[in-house]
Amino acid sequence: MSNGYEILNEKRAFAMNILIFGAGVLGSNLARDLFKSKKDVTLLARGEWANEIRQNGLRIKDKFRFGTSVSKIPVITTLRKEDIYDVIFVVVRYNQIDSILDVLKENKTKNIVFVGNNVKTKELSGRLPMKNVMFAFASSVGYREKGRIVSMHFRKITIGPLSNGNKALIDAIFSNTKYKVKYEPNIGDYLLCHAAFVLPLTFACYKTGGNLKKIKNDKEYIHELIDANVEAYRAILKAGHEILPLEDKEFESGPYRNKCFRFLRFIFSTSIGKIVLSDHAMNAIEEMRSLNEDMERFFASIDAKLPIWKELQKDLPERNMENDNVGMRK
């Protein structure tokens, strides 16, 4: 340690060659942790952020720890056809995925892992037929400020499917890291259920203009958020999908509702809500809109009626109106 900074610049001496495609909070934390575990990591970043990392290293401040880590990770700004990696982790916003599919398709790397919100796993796998496509969700939140990432990073990742020898590959990737890796064979349904839970909470962010403390005592509204989640789970289950994680299977029960209510009251009443939810929602409106639109298409495809969900989603800002109208509907 020097002046509160931990400099990570060890020589790489190993076989695994990993590209992190995207240098936001999730991608930066993943790149830093795999780099620390002696993997050969490259980070794809753009614009001034790419220049910042090249000049000063990837700097990450863990929210509740002293000091800032500085990782001297190689940075590229484009992925060429001939650049071959053992695996590419795609860590971009959901609404940006379509714009990079051709680049991924043309590149010769076989193993691709999409990390983050996703409700069209089957479609994306079909659009990359020559690739071994996996999906993952990582527990990491935060924001960028003054040339560094500030985050709460839990080092937990859920990833799947496990066909084609994927488990051995994942084991190798996360060896010597502190990650708790959960293997989920049915990752598509897991991510579908995650969207069904989190999207109503983003509607609450827009209703309050990002200040969730405004609704910490609004018991009726908090129960409406839970009702929307339950509506979505019913539709997902009726369509033949599995409710995941396993602890959510009893979503119609009183204990599930009580657990959700206590959790929402807690995050709405403390700064945790800002860190884990509203900061991202307020800065990723287009991503949340795209995710909701694809959920709406899914509901329409199975002729599901979700009246509470539809009422709550009215707080999602219309296109080109985000800057003026977020939090204005009463």
Band the pLDDT of 325: cuts 50, 70, 90. Answer: very low
* Amino acid 257: pLDDT: 98
Assign domain 5-185 one CATH number from 3.40.50.720, 3.50.30.50, 3.30.70.20, 3.40.640.10: 3.40.50.720
Q: Quick: pLDDT tens for 261-313.
A: 999 999 999 998 998 899 999 999 999 999 999 999 999 999 999 999 999 99
Would you say the C-alpha torsion 98, 26, 118, 328 has a positive or negative sign?
negative
| Averaged pLDDT score across all residues of the chain | 91
* Integer Cα distance of 233 and 255 in angstroms: 16
* Amino acid 320: pLDDT: 60
Q: Quick: pLDDT tens for 110-158.
A: 999 999 999 999 999 999 999 999 999 998 888 888 899 988 888 899 9
* Amino acid 141: pLDDT: 85
Q: Quick: pLDDT tens for 245-266.
A: 999 999 999 999 999 999 999 9
